């Protein structure tokens, strides 16, 4: 259960992020995949994460303290954004440094649009996580946009694409910010990890 959630701040680099030994759960995906909507759904705060129709609004490492116990870290998306190549490279470096250096990161949740065919950007990023041993899970978003049969077929295509480079896939969740499908399952998974003892 989410009892409290508080926006702590936006940080331009991992070195400047909070160092409080609290567990961290990062959320990332292609620009416009529905990341802010999902975060707001999870913590039941409509505008804690800024929702925009224009990709690329998240430009720093955004820390949200949940239940005074763990951080939800909102990372800049990858892919299209109306910013210069130099700026996008800067975001990429910031995100990768965080993912590689954070000692408190428990899981990186990679959001993948479940309503469209497999995207090379998603596969490249998840392959990079795997190659660097960064724990991750897949969150298929926008699952309300397709009828069940078409959704099942599309998800199979996406999974088959990933299995070309992965021996087996990490944990997966199906989420709709519109219908709230999958919220409880994802939240329960996070809370279990947040409360687990080393």
Mean pLDDT computed over 62-88: 82
pTM for the full model? 0.90
- CA 170, CA 86: separation in Å to the nearest integer? 32
- CA 53, CA 56: separation in Å to the nearest integer? 9
Question: For the segment 100-110, what is each residue's pLDDT rounded down to a tens digit?
Answer: 999 999 999 99
- SS3 at position 6: strand
**Which residues, 6+ apart, have CB-to-CB distance to 82 below 8 Å?**
54, 55, 56
Mean pLDDT computed over 133-158: 95
| pLDDT, position 80 | 59
| pLDDT, position 53 | 43
Mean pLDDT computed over 104-120: 95
**Residues 179, 144 contacting (CB under 8 angstroms):** yes
**Residues 36, 56 contacting (CB under 8 angstroms):** no
- Fold type of domain 5-195: Rossmann fold (3.40.50)
Rg (CA), the chain: 16
Mean pLDDT computed over 79-104: 79
**Residues 104, 125 contacting (CB under 8 angstroms):** no
Mean pLDDT computed over 86-114: 90
**Residue 44 pLDDT exceeds 80:** yes
Token pair of 55 as six digits = 């990709």
| pLDDT, position 125 | 94
**Residue 47 pLDDT exceeds 80:** no
């Amino acid at each position: 259960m989410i009892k409290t959630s508080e926006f702590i701040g936006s940080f331009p680099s991992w070195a400047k992020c909070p160092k409080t030994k609290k567990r961290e759960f990062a959320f990332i995906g292609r620009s416009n995949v529905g990341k802010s909507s999902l975060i707001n759904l999870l913590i039941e705060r409509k505008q804690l994460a800024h929702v925009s129709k224009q990709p690329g609004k998240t430009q720093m490492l955004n820390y949200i303290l949940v239940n005074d116990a763990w951080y939800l870290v909102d990372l800049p998306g990858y892919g299209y954004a109306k910013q210069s190549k130099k700026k996008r490279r800067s975001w990429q470096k910031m995100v990768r440094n965080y993912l590689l250096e954070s000692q408190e990161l428990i899981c990186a949740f990679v959001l993948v649009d479940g309503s469209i065919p497999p995207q090379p950007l998603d596969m490249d990023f998840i392959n990079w996580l795997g190659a660097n041993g960064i724990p991750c899970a897949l969150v298929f978003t926008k699952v309300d946009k397709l009828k069940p049969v078409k959704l099942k077929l599309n998800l199979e295509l996406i999974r088959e694409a990933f299995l070309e480079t992965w021996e087996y896939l990490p944990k997966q969740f199906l989420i709709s910010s519109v219908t709230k499908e999958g919220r409880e399952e994802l939240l329960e998974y996070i809370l279990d990890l947040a409360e687990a003892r080393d």
